Amino acid sequence: MSGETVTVGEAARLTGVSAKMIRWYEARGLLPPAARSAAGYRHYGEIEIRALHFVRRARDLGFDVEAIAGLLALWSDRDRPSAAVKAIAQARIVELRRRIAALEGMARSLEHLADACCGDDRPDCPILDDLSAGLGERAPREKRTPP
């Protein structure tokens, strides 16, 4: 019979999506409203559990809510063109690569600065010098306007 249904907490345990998040996804329209018991408890069957797994996996891949909603819609459409799915994935890849590049730039800058900083008891620090650079003079140690 496959009539076994579980509550949110159980669904959370099964899928790795917290009960809070399950309710939140539902409220945001990402998931359809769950079936309710007479007392108002949400109940989830195998298909819903599968959808939650899907959401979890997509979330792990860095998709945001909108994208996941789109993927879910395509997932449940048996006639979807695979091109539509691929487009979403590729947009996500572009975004990921963009963010990676940004973080990489930061990391490299910082590594460069940290390498130049001897890191001892003395106050001379290229890191702070760099952070305060770009205006006029560098350090705030000269508190008064330089000549």
Partner DNA sequence: GATGGACCTTCCCACCGTGGGAAGGTCAAG
Partner DNA sequence: CTTGACCTTCCCACGGTGGGAAGGTCCATC
User: Residue-wise over 31-59: b if at least 16 C-beta within 10 A, else e?
Assistant: beebeeeeeeebbbeeebbebbebbeebb
| Shortest distance, position 33 Cβ to DNA, whole Å | 9
Q: CB of 19 within 8 A of CB of 8?
A: yes
**8 burial class (0-12, 13-18, 19+ CB within 10 angstroms)?**
buried
Partner in contact with 70, chosen from a copy of itself, DNA, none, beta carbon below 5 to 8 Å by kind: none
Binding status of residue 61 toward a copy of itself by CB under 8 A = yes
Stretch (H or E) spanning 42:
strand 42-43
| Shortest distance, position 121 Cβ to DNA, whole Å | 29
Partner in contact with 114, chosen from DNA, a copy of itself, none, beta carbon below 5 to 8 Å by kind: a copy of itself
| Shortest distance, position 86 Cβ to a copy of itself, whole Å | 4
Among 33, 38, 120, 147, binds a copy of itself (CB under 8 A): 120
User: What are the C-alpha distances in Å from 135 to residues 110, 138, 140, 145?
Assistant: 20, 7, 11, 13
Window of 20-28, 32-40, 127-135 that interacts with a copy of itself by CB under 8 A? 127-135
Give the separation between CA 63 and CA 69, rounded to whole angstroms: 10
Among 32, 46, 64, 66, binds a copy of itself (CB under 8 A): 46
| Shortest distance, position 126 Cβ to a copy of itself, whole Å | 8
Binding status of residue 74 toward a copy of itself by CB under 8 A = yes
Closer to a copy of itself by CB, 30 or 61: give it.
61
